[in-house]
Structure 1
């Protein structure tokens, strides 16, 4: 297997500044830690006095011992791209999120090796076998949970990261799952997904990583064996075991397991959520509803239980209850993945390996110094594109409702279930002493207001801002076709009133069955309005240009943004149209990933493989030989079509052989793990 090229970020003024910056950042790490840092000291072969520091980041390297990390450093001593310098020493830094230590291996070339760890205060400690076991497990989890999904978003976030597959054979799998078993009940120390408020035994980065590994590779038997062993120690693990059994199509065993486990722990919200999800997948909405309601009762402070209940109501087309449930969701500030905080480098070298060169990927890409694509201001300010965590999931639920019933009906439902600002003011004028505690009566579930930036606080777009994306002046018609939502009465406004409380609330007759809307949900409506407004302008202009037989021009970046916009609003065909227009200008991994969904929908094997070959080549071009999502798609194709057919279609593609070999590596990985269809 050909290794990706080695990016080099240079420090020419002062050595080890990047290592010192990593040491200083240890106190602020909250998740699994940043990618591993590899720092090399180089000097010219002809001049031994002048030294230069270069570094890059890496994930997926075996971090089970100092020897394995030193072995990686040794692979960097001979660079085919730099024959005038030699590496004289190197430091490999790998974060241990269990013990909050940075494990380090210093290698002198030729000569010595020193292994130690640095704590949050910058002090040295001894590296023990127990610490190496924790570090190994953290390295595997980072490789899976911090990997790119094929769209290029993760790759573009941090410059110069080499990404390797941490588990390339069954021997490494055994090593990984054995470490996971030994440290399983310490997993809650590793934090969790942003949708989980409090990490617990079955909801943390360790369990997420194990499930993602099983889902990606299809190694269901290994996962079932692991969770069956752990279940004997804690019945709560049943929810994880049931999820893997459902993945493996062992649904009868999963249902029986969930039933038996709930006899022992009747209020286990993870099990109840698993039940609700299973019933929902089978079209049994009423059964899912009962499970989801019980899960909310079991864990009222968790976002996932409320989100599941809202999802079930959407499935049952009970739009008013879906909105009320969404309003009750506890929202959490988004905690992003740990990223390296490095000083400004003197220069960056991003070499291209010949094996990953593909003309259609490189053609049309902006060169260094070229001006950026023009993007209309209205497209830049779409706040929904930046949503993460709980706000992203809540927004997705709101767009599902809007796609199902339309914007006008959504506004009507909103005004039926929430107190609107205007009606509150009108009603309040007729009451001599407005009630301070109105919120207690009108808002069934009281949630504290979240003033963080993540809440999506935006000013509602006014009519004056409704500028056409092409400046044609057609926005007036669009404005009248999409009604701007009026403000609802925010709960904190009512609760913070300074007036004396009125013991009698009977005067507020029309609020008897209404709730106060949380500010964050009100903001989501405004953001959705802006999304719909820009989308409608785009589609109106497109229709006008076609009518006049004129070409509708946008930059590649604008087409990419419009594709994402249409996808967010569940307009699948329109998103594909935008992505195809983007690809017509130049290659974009995000647009190609969108096109891949079209081929999946049509069961177009050749189209899927054509897109996968290009995505794999692009990933390799940016030093990533491993993407779990792309591996999963290759595995599913092999499962459906057979390895021989998949390999034949790849080989018959009219692309350079080294590029095709990169996809063959993914196919070989499926054969190594004996995936279904790989022997056919």
Structure 2
């Protein structure tokens, strides 16, 4: 496969990027940043003047100093720079197990020196164990930090070359062997942001293994690995069961889960796997009790509460779904480690000849150059990640199914509203306190709108002062026309930082006799903010659809710039309106190429089973990724693999070849199909 071009970021003379990387080591909390490659260049006609250039890379074989030195040697000749020569190079690769930075210094021509640097900047000897750990971390980073096709990851860090770390069954076997050796140390790597405490089965190593197995379809290899590990610890049964399910061996998975839960009845990973399976099969009544037990076994984990909320949504038990969502423990999002380097003095982003194609060239369409309406810029939901993103998607799923007005009605039945709070400041009778979490678990004492039922106290996690900050926004009381289940565009909503002005108490004497206040919960501040963010999303969505309908009726063109269409597509997508999202993304693509919009259109083609459309989108996304130095995207590889499973490799290759794009662009997609053949994926035989 042709190598992607080499980006060059020129070092500011006053800041050494290597020293800055050393200083930042003690702040790393995840798998570490992409590998740093620093080169010293010297003009061919000068022996004194030198310049430092660097770039980042993932997916390079980091099993030894020789393999990293070999990569530096490939950079000694650059077609785009014929006036300078490389005199030395330094490769830095982070080892998240031992928390040291492995470094290989190459003098050209000359010697190769390898060592490691700890968090305090001390230079240490690099051992074989260090290289084993570094190799595994390098593979996990390559998959974890890869772009999913939308371009978001690529645009986040400039100048990163991304390679596929595993291109053959032999390399796969080495990866799995090392993973087996270091498996029981995997908790040291940290975990996904939805996991509060990394453990044996929930950490970056297990996530990376499951991700690799799903992407490549190498289920037999995964089953073999986890069967061996399960003999050492039965907790690993949950991972083996997930691979069985992904590999369409559901009978084995259920048998395994039954046996494992009998042995470990309160293992929340096993319970969550079983509850997810039952719920996906439409048996939410079976999943419910399992999910409740999962919450009891791990009450401080977000995932168990979120699973219970999902099941209540599947059962259309909206009150308990909101109560459960309100009980979810929320964690501050811990983003992937990124390079903390100063702005380079100059940037060179050469274009590889293999990626030349006018149709996918978006180099002149940098986001931010276009005037975007302030209301679209201010939409906060698109920035949610981790637990807050998942909670928001649960809330939007409920809204999609019952509408905004009904959501507000149920919210007022479950949570204390502003007017009730102001008029009912009496203490709760002692001896009748209950916790919102236990109500959600029992699933029997749903708060009643008429105030009857068993009285409950307010949870101790929210104070009255916090509730005053999170009072119901005036916008939430609005009512819409029957055919629109979203807020009216004429109503404004307060921002999360503002507090509404107190309103005078109602003169209605019945308000002095409230008793239902003690049957409700205080809405957690974060959930109250989600309601307001959701309101703003729905408000903007309603304005867009109303204006678009009016323009269409008047036979006028509804105009937005490409970045606004991209934002509207994301808005409709997170509100679960896929057709409207695709409409916006297609409007964006009609103006310029956008990987985010093309990724959204690709999902539409996949839903509709339009394999030709899927391939057309994949070809363009693969070429765009390669143009920005990414040789490999796991998600795009997965899409190709699924197509080959459905239609066979011969047909897929024929459709690719019949596409009216330059041959060098088509060849990039053929490389992905060739990778499927190397792993003997279904559909590649013959």
Q: Which residue, 387, 400, 405 being the options, matches 1:403?
A: 400
The residue aligned with 2:450 is none
2: CA distance between counterparts of 1:460 and 1:587? 42
Structure 1 residue 263: Cα displacement: 1.1
**1:392 matched to 2:398:** no
The separation in 1 between residues aligned to 2:473 and 2:574, in whole angstroms, is 19
How far the C-alpha of 1:512 sits from its partner, in A, is 3.9
Residue 6 of structure 2 corresponds to 6
In the aligned structure 1, how far is the partner of 2:494 from the partner of 2:46?
72
- How much does 1:83 deviate? 1.0
Task: Note closer, same or farther for the CA distance 1:427–1:442 as it changes in structure 2 (3 Å cut).
Answer: farther
- Report what 2:191 is aligned to: 192
CA positional deviation for 1:484? 7.5
Whether the 8 Å CA contact 2:275–2:287 is kept in 1: the answer is yes
Give the aligned partner of residue 521 of structure 2. 515
Q: What's the offset of the Cα at 1:548? A: 1.4
Q: Give the drift of 1:420.
A: 1.0
Deviation per CA, 1:42-69: give whole Å up to 9, x if none. Answer: 0011111100100000000000000000
Shift of 1:366: 2.8
Q: Which residue is 1:626 aligned to?
A: 632
SS of equivalent residue, structure 1 residue 585: coil
Q: Does the residue aligned with 1:87 lie in a helix, a strand or coil?
A: strand
Cα distance in 2 for residues equivalent to 1:359 and 1:486:
45
How far residue 31 of structure 1 moved from its aligned partner, in angstroms, is 0.2
**Greater mean deviation of Cα atoms: 415-424 or 657-666:** 415-424
Unaligned runs of 5+ in 1: 451-456, 467-476, 489-506
Distance in 2 separating the partners of 1:371 and 1:386: 16
4+ residue stretches of structure 1 with deviation over 2 A? 363-367, 434-450, 457-463, 477-488
Query: What is the match of residue 504 of structure 1?
Result: none
Give the equivalent residue in structure 1 for 2:509: none
Query: Are 2:524 and 1:527 aligned?
Result: no
Q: Matched residues in 1 for 2:99 and 2:112: separation?
A: 23
Whole-angstrom distance in 2 between the partners of 1:225 and 1:373: 52
- SS at 1:390's partner residue? helix
The 1:478–1:639 alpha-carbon spacing in structure 2 relative to 1, beyond 3 Å, is: closer
- The CA distance in 1 between the partners of 2:471 and 2:46, in whole Å, is 61
1:290 corresponds to: 289
Equivalent residues in 2 for 1:655-666, closer than 5 Å: 655-666=661-672
Deviations 1:132-151 (A, max 9, x none): 00000000000001110000
2:573 — aligned with what?
A: 567
- Rounded Cα–Cα distance in structure 2 between residues aligned with 1:524 and 1:616: 36
SS class of match (1:352): coil
Q: Distance in 1 between matches of 2:229 and 2:661?
A: 48
Superposed counterparts of 1:273-672, under 5 Å: 273-362=272-361, 365-366=364-365, 372-428=369-425, 431=426, 434=427, 441=434, 443-444=436-437, 446=459, 448=461, 480=488, 509-672=515-678
- TM-superposed deviation, 1:540: 0.7
Match of 1:94 in 2: 93
> Number of residues paired by the alignment?
639
8 A contact 1:133–1:179 mirrored in 2: yes
1:227/1:241 contact within 8 Å kept = yes
User: Aligned in 2, Cα 1:516/1:449: closer, same or farther, shift over 3 Å?
Assistant: closer
Q: CA deviation digits over 1:104-136, x for unaligned, max 9?
A: 000000110000000000000000000000000
- Which structure 2 residues correspond to residues 43-192 of structure 1 after superposition, within 5 A? 43-192=42-191
Worse-superposed segment, 570-579 or 415-424:
415-424
1:426 CA displacement: 1.5
Shift of 1:508: 6.6
With over 3 angstroms needed to count, the CA separation of the structure-2 counterparts of 1:627 and 1:436, relative to structure 1, is farther
Write out per-residue CA displacement over residues 273-311 of structure 1, whole angstroms, 9 at most, x where no aligned residue: 000111111111100111111111110100000000000
**Cα pair distance change 1:372/1:487, threshold 3 Å:** closer
Post-superposition shift, 1:344? Answer: 2.0
C-alpha distance 437-487 of structure 1, shift in aligned 2 (>3 A): farther
Aligned to 1:472: none
Moved more, 316-325 or 357-366: 357-366
TM value normalised by structure 2:
0.90
Distance 2:494 2:350 in 1: 53
Question: What is the DSSP-based 3-state SS (H/G/I as helix, E as strand, rest coil) of the residue aligned with 2:590?
Answer: helix
What are structure 2's unaligned runs of at least 5 residues? 439-458, 464-468, 479-484, 497-512
Deviation at 1:365, TM superposition (A): 3.3
**Counterparts of 1:231 and 1:534 in 2: how far apart (Å)?**
51
Contact 1:194 1:390 in 2 (8 A): yes
The CA distance in 2 between the partners of 1:478 and 1:276, in whole Å, is 32
For the structure 1 residues 444 and 289, does the alpha-carbon distance in structure 2 shift closer, same or farther, using more than 3 Å as the test?
A: closer
